[in-house]
Amino acid sequence: MSKKPDLKGLAGTIISGDGDFDQVRILGGLTCKGSLNANDVNVKGSIKIDGSLWANDIEVLGGITVGSDIIAEYEVNIEGGVTAGGKFQGREIVVSGGVNVGEGIKAATLEVKGGVKAGGEIKVDGLIEVEGGLVSDRKIEAENLIAIGGFTSKRNIKVEKSIIARGSIEVDEDVECESFELKISGPSFINGKLQAKKIKIDIDEKARNVAYLRVKEIISQNKIDIDYVIAEKVICPKMNAGENCRIGEALDKAYDPE
């Protein structure tokens, strides 16, 4: 079988239809009017692809905009932002800007310096680390989750080990993990239960607005430390609740922290 050709070019390289290459090396921007398949993609500028991008490794010094899917077998390193109409997959994904995808995200590790918004499920085998907020229209699964800027899920969140978050959160169903630490900076909600062996919740010292967490039920087998929490029900052997907590109250009751 003959080896696939390489694509090398300068700024303004345009592929008029679909492309199938071994190595893609572009010193500037790249535009593809169809889909692009390559073993290795290295672009020193930005990428715009009307279809999908498939590769073993992807490295882009600018941003990337794709009409459909971004699928990488191994590493993805994007210095700018990522926009895709479909799904986003890779083994190790690192993005210096934000991520906005129409479907789900799947990876072994996910590190994003900006915010993440996914129309589908976010499933990561290891660590999710996001510095600009994490939003999924489906469920979120990971081994560990660090979310600076908070997180939102229209389904449930299931994390094998720890959740560390700072900001506002909103979860339509349940949150399950081993350790849960939250610094609240605004109105936050868990419409189902929060279940963890270790729970620590308090207001972010930098919060500028009214901040609290409303949760249907809290369950822990150990002592919990909470403040600025409104919970209909708490099940735990011991609780250190601050003066701004409201336990045993309906979630729709007005909240006026002292």
Residues 201-221: pLDDT tens digits?
A: 999 988 878 899 999 999 999
16, part of any domain:
no
Is the CB of residue 101 less than 8 Å from the CB of residue 84? yes
> What residues make up the domain containing 191?
72-247
Residue 253 has pLDDT above 70, yes or no: no
Note whether residue 38 is domain-resident.
no
% of residues, the chain, pLDDT over 90: 91
Considering the domain boundaries, does residue 79 fall inside one?
yes
Q: How confident is the model at residue 256 (pLDDT cuts 50, 70, 90)?
A: low
Within-domain flag for 36: no
Average the pLDDT over 40-59 and give the result: 97
Is residue 56 assigned to a domain?
no
What CA–CA distance (Å, rounded) separates 55 from 103? 19
Residue 254 has a pLDDT of 56
Rounded distance, CA 19 to CA 38, Å? Answer: 8
User: pTM for the full model?
Assistant: 0.92
Q: Give domain status of residue 186, yes or no.
A: yes
Number of domains observed in the structure of the chain: 1
The answer to whether 155 and 172 have CB atoms below 8 angstroms apart is: yes
152 located within any domain: yes
- Judge whether 101 lies within some domain: yes
Two tokens at 235?
A: 């099940």
